[in-house]
């Protein structure tokens, strides 16, 4: 009997492994299709000045809606696309799309909006990322001062040998650099002085605990003070309620982003938000 069970378990294991592989292959071909047929799209989440409430920028967030699978979260398909390399193509498309959109807003509103674009460590590893950025700016005509690239510490850890050169070149173009998800992993304080960073984004995990845990408040106070001492501005991510907003205000946070203020939305909904009071 036991023997039979073992076999079934093995069979089960093999079947589920196969189906996982089939699923991956299926997902990869669907993602390729989506890229080819231009079915990825971007939403934009406003980032606001904490003191005035003015929208100072938006973060471009990629979305994938498959006719059969439905909406697939970027937390699922971005890591997948990083594994199979599709992220390079996706990332280039996102950058171009976001730059074009920013140019359209700037023309339409004359408001000095900035667009932030997430960049994967895999894109840096390709080696020609500076050129991609330079060419995209040239093609779209976006003033580099209106572009911010959000990178995570993974980029620093995995490509530490050349990332400083790449970042310097990008920075020389006049593009801003933000360190995303700060505090989520092993975020070294050293990154802040070692690399040319303009903006630090406090991970939403910290912000989430703000209203309940006092230790988190102390850590955020320290992060903000340290960033400011280094001439770095701070954005808090994932602000979901007024208590968090007030805690951040008390701690001199510069900018906020989160569902409490604005959810990610279609590009057409952004211009009405761009008003100087």
Angle at 33 between CA 30 and CA 34, to 5 degrees: 90
Q: How far is the CB of 2 from ligand C2E (least distance, A)?
A: 45
Sequence-distant (6+) residues with CB within 8 A of 198 are 148, 176, 177, 178, 232, 233
Contact partner at residue 254 from Mg ion, ligand C2E, none, CB < 5 to 8 Å by partner kind: none
Cβ proximity to ligand C2E: between 121 and 137 the closer is 121
Alpha carbon of 101 to those of 97, 123, 150: distances in Å? 6, 21, 17
48, β-bridge pairs = 55, 256
47, 27 in Cβ contact below 8 A? no
58, β-bridge pairs = 46, 115
Contact partner at residue 75 from Mg ion, ligand C2E, none, CB < 5 to 8 Å by partner kind: ligand C2E
71, β-bridge pairs = 65
Cβ proximity to ligand C2E: between 63 and 109 the closer is 63
Question: Which of these, 143, 139, 137, lies nearest to 110 by C-alpha position?
Answer: 143
Q: Which residue bears the tokens 């408001």?
A: 111
CA distance 211 to 4: 54
From candidates 118, 123, 187, 216, binder to Mg ion by CB under 5 A: 118
Sequence-distant (6+) residues with CB within 8 A of 56 are 47, 48, 49, 113, 114, 255
Q: How far is the CB of 30 from Mg ion (least distance, A)?
A: 24
The footprint of Mg ion on residues 134-193 (CB under 5 A) is 150, 180-181
Does 256 help bind Mg ion (rule: CB under 5 A)?
no
Give the CA diameter of the chain: 77
Size of the site for Mg ion (CB under 5 A): 7
Q: How far is the CB of 271 from ligand C2E (least distance, A)?
A: 20
Contact partner at residue 96 from ligand C2E, Mg ion, none, CB < 5 to 8 Å by partner kind: none
Q: Which stretch binds Mg ion (CB under 5 A): 24-32, 79-87, 100-108, 239-247?
A: 100-108
**Where along the sequence are the contacts to ligand C2E (CB under 6 A)?**
45, 61-62, 73-75, 78, 91, 94, 118-120, 150, 180-181, 204, 237-240, 257-259, 264
Does 110 help bind Mg ion (rule: CB under 5 A)?
yes
Q: How far is the CB of 11 from ligand C2E (least distance, A)?
A: 36
Q: How far is the CB of 15 from Mg ion (least distance, A)?
A: 37
217, 210 in Cβ contact below 8 A? yes
Q: How far is the CB of 92 from ligand C2E (least distance, A)?
A: 10
Cβ proximity to ligand C2E: between 109 and 264 the closer is 264
Contact partner at residue 106 from ligand C2E, Mg ion, none, CB < 5 to 8 Å by partner kind: Mg ion
228, 234 in Cβ contact below 8 A? yes
What residues line the site for Mg ion (CB under 5 A)?
106, 110, 118, 150, 180-181, 237
């Amino acid at each position: 009997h036991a023997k039979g069970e073992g076999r079934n378990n093995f069979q089960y294991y093999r079947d589920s492994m196969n189906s996982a592989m089939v699923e991956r292959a299926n997902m990869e071909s669907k993602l390729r299709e989506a890229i080819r047929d231009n079915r990825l799209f971007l939403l934009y989440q406003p980032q606001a000045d904490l003191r005035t409430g003015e929208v100072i920028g938006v973060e471009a967030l990629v979305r994938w809606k498959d006719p059969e699978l439905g909406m697939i979260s970027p937390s699922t398909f971005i890591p997948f696309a990083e594994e199979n390399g599709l992220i390079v193509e996706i990332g280039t498309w996102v950058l171009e799309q976001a730059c074009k959109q920013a140019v359209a807003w700037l023309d339409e509103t004359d408001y000095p909006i900035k667009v932030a674009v997430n960049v994967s460590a895999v894109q840096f590893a390709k080696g020609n990322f500076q050129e991609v950025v330079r060419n995209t700016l040239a093609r779209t005509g976006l003033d580099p001062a209106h572009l911010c690239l959000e990178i995570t510490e993974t980029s620093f850890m995995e490509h530490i040998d050349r990332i400083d050169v790449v970042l310097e070149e990008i920075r020389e173009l006049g593009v801003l650099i933000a360190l995303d998800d700060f505090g989520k992993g092993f975020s070294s304080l050293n990154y802040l002085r070692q690399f040319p960073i303009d903006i630090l984004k406090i991970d939403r995990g910290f912000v989430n605990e703000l209203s309940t845990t006092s230790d988190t408040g102390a850590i955020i106070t320290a992060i903000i003070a340290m960033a400011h001492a280094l001439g770095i501005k701070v954005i808090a991510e994932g602000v979901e309620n007024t208590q968090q907003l007030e805690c951040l205000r008390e701690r001199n946070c510069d900018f906020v982003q989160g569902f409490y203020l604005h959810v990610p939305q279609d590009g057409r909904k952004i211009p009405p938000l761009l008003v100087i009071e």
